[in-house]
Amino acid sequence: MNSTRAITIPTGRFNFNSQTEADCRFMFRFGKTDIPELARLLGFPDPFITKARYHATAIEVVCIMLIRLAWPHRLGSMVQTFGRSREALSALSNAAMLHVYERFGHLLDWDYQRLDSQWMQRCGDAIYMQGAPLKTCIGFIDGTRKHALKYQAVMSPDGIIVHLHGPEPGSRHDAYLLARSQLVSKLQDKLPVENTRYVIYGDPAYGINDVIASGIKGARLDVREAEFNRRMSAVRVSVEWGFGIVRNLWTFVDYRGGQKLWFHAVGVHYSVAVILTNVHTCMKEGNQVSSYFGMKPPTAEEYLRPQA
């Protein structure tokens, strides 16, 4: 069977106004009133024009990007929704993701403007109040593997992924990703605030340094050491919830067929999925992680700050 057979392109173009609230949340993951606001906050020009001269309104190109990430669609199945060729949909979705990545990718490399001393204190308090023995832990680091690729992320208790590094080959260990990300050197002078040194918590593979605290190793831990590990492990699971939220919202980045792209493009797609997950959390005023720690996320406007 020829899987590349011609697809009839409808004569009518996509009409956003005809979409219901339920349609928008199902197809695009955002509510109908949220999508125009998302287009504005992400800085999409209207019209949006690709290098190949494909034109779309700001709202339409955002919808194309969202539905591309939300579902493991072949482009052909999107033709009926948007009344555009596969070539146009591919060009528009890729250009839209690149626009978001270039404009807001810095938010995944520790946003020093927003993540200030007051934020750190709120994070430390929220995690401690949830039962952690550490009073100065502000987030959790872990890695996730997507098929043959691996990413490193830091989840904060307000439900926002504040750091993402990758992709790296899936065979690499967590310590390798940590070194490649240069996270320790980047935060070495940022986490000490007055007389308090804040830390990120990870499993023992990350070791212990000025930036990262980890579980206590050993086959024969005493009662206090075992209790420390147990209580920190209970709160550290939140970073796994974060990866799950990304996966549930944006099925395309977890779909093996969707990842058969050149290395940089895969990294852009996953980074954009994480940024959009964070914005989704902001617009919903929380997620599973923020509810667990009782710490509200920023507003979408506060989160989506262009680089200074």
The residue ranges of every structural domain in the chain are 16-105, 109-303
Sign of the dihedral through C-alpha 106, 110, 112, 118: positive
Taking each helix axis from N to C end, the angle separating 58-70 and 263-283, rounded to the nearest 10 degrees, works out to: 110
72-82 confidence digits (pLDDT tens): 877 888 998 89
* Alpha carbons 165 and 142: distance in angstroms, whole number: 11
Query: What is the pLDDT of the chain when averaged over all its residues?
Result: 90
From CA 138, how far away is CA 242, in angstroms rounded?
A: 15
- pLDDT bracket for residue 264 (50, 70, 90): low
Per-residue pLDDT of 99-109, as tens digits, reads: 999 999 999 99
Helix (H, G, I), strand (E, B), or coil: what is residue 161? Answer: strand
How much of the chain exceeds pLDDT 90, in percent?
Answer: 71
Rounded distance between C-alpha atoms, residue 19 and residue 36, angstroms = 13
Q: Tens digit of pLDDT for each residue in 208-229?
A: 998 999 988 877 888 998 999 8
pTM of the entire structure? 0.92
- Average pLDDT over every residue of 159-183: 94
pLDDT at residue number 6: 53
Helices (H), 105-164: 117-129
- Cα–Cα distance between 217 and 219 in angstroms, integer? 7
Whole-angstrom distance, CA of residue 95 vs CA of residue 272: 12
Q: Is the confidence at residue 232, as pLDDT, over 60?
A: yes
CA distances from 193 to 110, 114, 212 (A): 16, 15, 15
Task: Tell me the sheet residues that pair with 212.
Answer: 200
For 166: left if phi > 0, alpha if psi spans -120 to 50, otherwise beta; the answer is left
Orientation of helix 75-82 relative to helix 86-104, angle to 10°: 100
